[in-house]
Amino acid sequence: MKTVKLFPNIRDCDLVSYEPFGHGNESSITLKAPAKINLYLDIQGTDHRGYHMLNMVNKVISLADVITVKVIKDGLGRLDFDCNKPGLPTDSRNTCVKAAGLFREYMDATDSFSISLHKNIPHEAGLAGGSADGACVLLALNHIYGEPCDEDSLQLLSLAIGTDVPFCRIKRTGLCTGDGRNVRFIKDNMDWNRYKLMLVKPNYGMSTIEAYKEFDVITGGTDPDAPGHEAMLDALAKGDMTMMAAASYNALMIPAVKKHPQILEIVNFLKANGACYSIMSGSGTTVYAYFDSNESHDLATVAYKAKEFFGQDVFTYWEE
């Protein structure tokens, strides 16, 4: 007898709670929306639309926002949104609201939606927090309604929210190409339980638009010294952290470090404190590092030292 997975498009580790409709008119689900890091990011110029063409190797991490989505069968078509962080837009500029609106149109639904977002992922950090949130709301609503969207429909809705959303929805180590929308799963044999992640983000961000614009100004559109993503794919397939460190690359560090030299200082600080390797993620300004748990590293102490060195308002996160 075939066993049907209750949450076909949701990872077990992301599910917090679920209340189906049952005999009532309300259903709710609470999910984690994990951030991602770029193990590799290269820019291959722009296409005819002016979109930057990318080669990115992405991986989801344990840092996550938490989102509760509730559907009420009342025919009123309301959309309520609240967040623990003030100042976030509450219209379609917010990916949670945008995802809910697109799903409502797809379903032609008149039910009311209520979305509660608890932000843990910092803003303008290069961690795809907004994309992760939009993907999470899409998966939440799709499950509450009984999985009406097949893979093709989920892909179209994901892309309508943003080009990073397909990866954030699928959440498997992947090679993302084109403008980021093309996701190909890759072989990942790294023993991630052995390596502990640390994030350090200074109290300023860098918008994606600004990062790409400055990259074009500085480089003319491509970096001839980019090593190519194949070495990163090989390192992951072999599960070799030393190879991975040598293969890591982020083209957007070029404009980020020019504007904020402190980013490179954070990279060097983490390496000096025992990291296997360290690099900035995405358009920045978060720097991440991996530490070998087989060696003696107290990441809480490293985080404390980072705040002492770079300021108490620096964001830090580490895996126990």
Sketch the domain layout of the chain as residue ranges: 12-181, 195-318
Per-residue pLDDT averaged across 7-20, rounded? 92
**What is the rounded distance in angstroms from the CA atom of residue 264 to the CA atom of residue 256?**
9
Q: What is the CA radius of gyration of the chain?
A: 20
Task: Given CATH 3.40.50.150, say whether it is the number of domain 12-181.
Answer: no
Task: Band the pLDDT of 158: cuts 50, 70, 90.
Answer: very high
Q: Are 288 and 253 in contact (CB under 8 A)?
A: no
| Residue of 67, 55, 61 whose CA lies nearest to 115 | 67
% the chain with pLDDT above 70 = 98
For the record, the structure tokens of 293 come out as 């748990």
One-letter identity of residue 141:
L
| Residue of 153, 94, 92 whose CA lies nearest to 129 | 94
The torsion region of residue 4 among left (phi > 0), alpha (psi -120 to 50) and beta comes to beta
Asked whether the predicted pLDDT for residue 165 surpasses 70, the reply is: yes
Q: What is the CATH number of domain 195-318?
A: 3.30.70.890
Higher pLDDT, 107 or 46: 107
**What is the rounded distance in angstroms from the CA atom of residue 303 to the CA atom of residue 198?**
8
Task: Band the pLDDT of 5: cuts 50, 70, 90.
Answer: low
Asked whether the predicted pLDDT for residue 71 surpasses 70, the reply is: yes
Letter string b/e over residues 81-113, b meaning 16 or more CB atoms within 10 A of that residue's CB: bebeeeebeeeeebbbbbbbbbbbebeebebbb
Same fold, 12-181 and 195-318: no
Higher pLDDT, 251 or 50: 251
Dihedral angle at the C-alpha atoms of 113, 207, 156, 69, nearest 10 degrees? Answer: -20
Per-residue pLDDT averaged across 97-101, rounded? 97
Q: How far is CA 53 from the centre of its chain?
A: 19
Per-residue pLDDT averaged across 151-179, rounded? 93
- Phi/psi for 34 (5° steps) reads -75, 145
pLDDT of residue 3: 47
Higher pLDDT, 136 or 170: 136
Place of tokens 């049952």: 22
- Phi/psi for 149 (5° steps) reads -90, 125
**What is the rounded distance in angstroms from the CA atom of residue 134 to the CA atom of residue 128?**
10
- Phi/psi for 85 (5° steps) reads -105, 110
- Active-site amino acid positions: 36, 164
CB atoms within 10 A of CB 272: 10
Per-residue pLDDT averaged across 160-180, rounded? 92
% the chain with pLDDT above 90 = 85
pLDDT of residue 57: 97
